[in-house]
Amino acid sequence: DTGVSQDPRHKITKRGQNVTFRCDPISEHNRLYWYRQTLGQGPEFLTYFQNEAQLEKSRLLSDRFSAERPKGSFSTLEIQRTEQGDSAMYLCASSYTGSQPQHFGDGTRLSIL
Amino acid sequence: GQQLNQSPQSMFIQEGEDVSMNCTSSSIFNTWLWYKQDPGEGPVLLIALYKAGELTSNGRLTAQFGITRKDSFLNISASIPSDVGIYFCAGQSFQGGGADGLTFGKGTHLIIQP
């Protein structure tokens, strides 16, 4: 059983560019979550999906951010017009149900030049 | 965003010593979890707690869900070099606001001197 997989592991881009990250959850996990982690801080919740439905968005998720999970399996997180403050580790987690523990991937580290 | 109060921020201990860290919150949580994160990797689940007062062990690790549902602690006995890393507590609530995302502490950085 493979764990949560995230791609790419690292992304370096210039300010103003768009970036897209992908997350493949653990097979048969219905819940998929996105978090952002900056240096010296714990992860902060961004949004989550129950199958293909996006059920909750944090206030941290500005309108430049969009997430999708079209077929209820993998998910993508897109950031448009990136800013310096978007530099962070973006973590994906999945769980079988909302009350089951969340298991994390190794994240995508985004650096904005 | 909201974060839990986790302490201590860092610990410098000798190999073989026991370690204790805790988390407190002003809000009630239905679930408490403890994760460990190594550099460049995602958090790895150590222990999940679902019931107030619950005491759970995983090898040398023991964690408890506080009676008030506003706190939790993690103990590590007889520390070894591979215990080095950052330990995070996380709380989860299931209120009507849909707060199913985890709320994390800022982490306890454990450093072990051989």
Is B4's pLDDT higher than 60?
Answer: yes
Is A109's pLDDT higher than 90?
Answer: yes
Chain B residues in contact with A58 (beta carbon < 8 A): 1, 101
pLDDT for res B3: 67
pLDDT for res B75: 98
Cα of A18 to nearest chain B Cα, Å: 23
pLDDT for res A77: 98
In tens, the pLDDT along B79-112 reads 999 999 999 999 998 765 455 789 999 999 999 9
Which of the four pLDDT bands, split at 50, 70 and 90, describes residue A99? confident
Written in H, E and C, the secondary structure of B2-58 is CCEEEECCEEEEECCCCEEEEEECCCCCCEEEEEEECCCCCCEEEEEECCCCCEEEE
Question: What is the rounded average pLDDT of the residues B14-40?
Answer: 95
Q: Under an 8 A CB cutoff, do B1 and A99 touch?
A: no
Q: Under an 8 A CB cutoff, do B1 and A98 touch?
A: no
Nearest CA in chain B to A90: B42
Cα of B18 to nearest chain A Cα, Å: 24
Q: Under an 8 A CB cutoff, do B100 and A106 touch?
A: no
> CA angle, A43 as apex, A86 and A84 as ends, to 5°?
10
- Token couple for A30: 């219905």
CB-closest option in A40, A46, A55 to B98: A55
In tens, the pLDDT along B40-74 reads 999 999 999 999 999 999 999 999 999 999 999 99
Which of the four pLDDT bands, split at 50, 70 and 90, describes residue A94? very high
How far apart, in whole angstroms, are the C-alpha atoms of residue A60 and residue A79? 12
In tens, the pLDDT along A27-44 reads 989 999 999 999 999 999
Question: What is the rounded average pLDDT of the residues A23-29?
Answer: 95
